[in-house]
């Protein structure tokens, strides 16, 4: 399969992000705010899936943009801005996972939610309770399956499936070749199909 060519919209987004980063490099906080508004939701979603339960995705996302500000002087648009951004996000997620592995704790939030999740409100209007429950169970199963993958495979899946990064961008984040990314995704999808078999039948 030939490499996917960047769409005109992606090129325009890259030009916009680079222009904002040039302003950030000169100390423009308004430009940083524009970058945050544009990318915060994607970063938070990606962090949540890379890190898994037990981590504060919002807090990690905040730290990502703190790093963007502090590292702005070193930014060069040799790769897409999103590649650079998600490289920062991935490194912070890995740091958090390592720290939590060395300092295991049970959060108060987790304790307060345990056994109480089913008491929070009714299913959405227009959605049958059994349908809502099945959708919720499938989403939880997918998240559990993702967390069972090796870190590189999990990151590749999140970047490709949820963030829609190209193979080349994922290769930049993981610092591997494009063929390695394709291999990671193939192995990850094979594992996910096996783990989710009972939910997909």
**pLDDT of 101:** 74
Please give the model's pTM, rounded to 2 decimal places.
0.71
CA dihedral sign, ordered 78, 57, 6, 156: positive
**pLDDT of 162:** 83
Q: What is the 3-state secondary structure (H, E, C) of 155-199?
A: HHHHHHHHCCCCHHHHHHHHCCCHHHHHHHHHHHHHHHHHHCHHH
Q: What is the pLDDT of residues 152-175, one digit of tens each?
A: 999 999 989 888 889 999 999 999
| Mean local confidence (pLDDT), 82-104 | 86
Is the domain spanning 7-101 CATH 1.10.1040.10? The answer is: no
The terminus-to-terminus CA distance of the chain in angstroms comes to: 30
Domains 7-101 and 129-201 share a fold: no
CATH number of 129-201: 1.10.10.10
Q: What is the pLDDT of residues 3-53, one digit of tens each?
A: 444 556 778 989 999 999 999 999 999 999 999 999 999 999 999 989 888
Phi-psi region of 27 (alpha: psi -120 to 50; beta: other; left: phi over 0): left
Q: What does the mean pLDDT of the chain come to?
A: 81
Domain spans in the chain, listed from the N-terminal domain onward:
7-101, 129-201
């Amino acid at each position: 399969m030939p490499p996917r060519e960047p769409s005109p919209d992606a090129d325009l987004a890259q030009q916009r992000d680079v222009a904002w980063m040039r302003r950030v490099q000169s100390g423009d906080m308004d430009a940083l705010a524009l970058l945050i508004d544009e990318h915060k939701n994607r970063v938070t979603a990606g962090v949540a899936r890379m890190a898994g339960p037990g981590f504060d995705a919002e807090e990690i996302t905040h730290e990502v943009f703190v790093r963007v500000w502090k590292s702005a002087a070193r930014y060069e648009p040799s790769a897409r801005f999103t590649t650079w951004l998600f490289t920062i996000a991935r490194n912070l997620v890995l740091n958090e996972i390592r720290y939590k592995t060395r300092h295991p704790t049970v959060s108060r939030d987790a304790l307060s939610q345990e056994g109480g999740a089913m008491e929070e409100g009714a299913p959405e209007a227009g959605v049958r309770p059994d349908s809502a429950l099945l959708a919720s169970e499938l989403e939880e199963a997918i998240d559990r399956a993702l967390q069972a993958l090796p870190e590189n495979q999990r990151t590749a899946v999140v970047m490709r499936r949820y963030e829609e990064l190209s193979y080349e961008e994922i290769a930049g984040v993981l610092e591997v070749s494009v063929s390695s990314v394709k291999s990671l995704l193939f192995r990850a999808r094979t594992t996910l199909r096996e783990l989710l078999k009972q939910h997909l039948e």
